[in-house]
């Protein structure tokens, strides 16, 4: 059996976030903004989770579902995601909402997100 002899680090923090996907990043930033010390651990070396590593290309779950195909998008998720959307649009990495079944999605550039 091989022994892992890599150097180790010891860190102390108020909040440990495991995973730098969308949820992990929002949790880490929100905790830090509330004055807590935060450690975020990400195995891939960059944030974005499956949306970036898997090159998924869409952000779903932000808009109300409706059977009315002519209805405009109604955003129902707010908070940290509003800042994320603003930054992604500013960098040219996020398209306007597009209809996807009964709801809307946003097409993103994974490399801008990263």
- Both 63 and 97 in a single domain? yes
Do 75 and 112 belong together in one domain? yes
Instruction: Show which of 23, 38, 54 is a domain's final residue.
Output: 54
Distance of CA 111 to the CA centre of its chain: 13
Predicted local confidence at residue 46, as pLDDT: 86
pLDDT at 3: 93
Q: Which pTM was predicted?
A: 0.77
Let me know whether 61 and 108 are in one domain.
yes
Is the domain of 61 the same as that of 47?
A: no
What pLDDT does residue 64 have? 96
- pLDDT one digit per residue (tens) for the chain, 114 residues: 899 999 998 999 999 999 998 899 999 999 999 999 999 999 888 888 877 887 778 888 999 999 999 999 999 999 999 999 999 999 999 999 999 999 999 999 988 988
d(CA 58, CA 109): 9
Q: How many degrees, rounded to 5, is the angle at CA 24 between CA 41 and CA 30?
A: 110
110 and 59 co-located in one domain: yes
**Co-location of 19 and 49 in the same domain:** yes
CB 18 within 8 A of CB 27: no
Last residue of a domain, which of 18, 39, 54?
Answer: 54
Task: Kindly state whether residue 2 falls inside one of the protein's structural domains.
Answer: no
Query: Is 66 found in the same domain as 28?
Result: no
Whether residues 31 and 59 fall in one domain: no
Range of the domain at 64: 55-114
Of the candidates 19, 61, 57, the one whose C-alpha atom is nearest the C-alpha of residue 40 is 19
Domain count, the chain: 2
Q: Are 58 and 106 in contact, with CB atoms under 8 Å apart? A: yes
């Amino acid at each position: 059996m091989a022994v892992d002899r890599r150097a180790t680090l010891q860190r102390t923090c108020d909040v440990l976030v495991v995973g730098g996907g969308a949820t992990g990043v929002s949790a880490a930033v929100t905790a830090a903004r509330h004055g807590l010390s935060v450690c975020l651990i990400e195995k891939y070396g960059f944030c974005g989770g499956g949306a970036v590593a898997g090159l998924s290309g869409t952000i779903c779950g932000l808009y109300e579902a409706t059977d009315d195909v002519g209805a405009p998008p109604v955003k129902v998720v707010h908070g940290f995601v509003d800042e994320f959307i603003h930054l992604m649009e500013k960098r040219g990495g996020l398209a306007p909402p597009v209809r996807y079944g009964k709801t809307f999605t946003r097409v993103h550039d994974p490399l801008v997100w990263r």
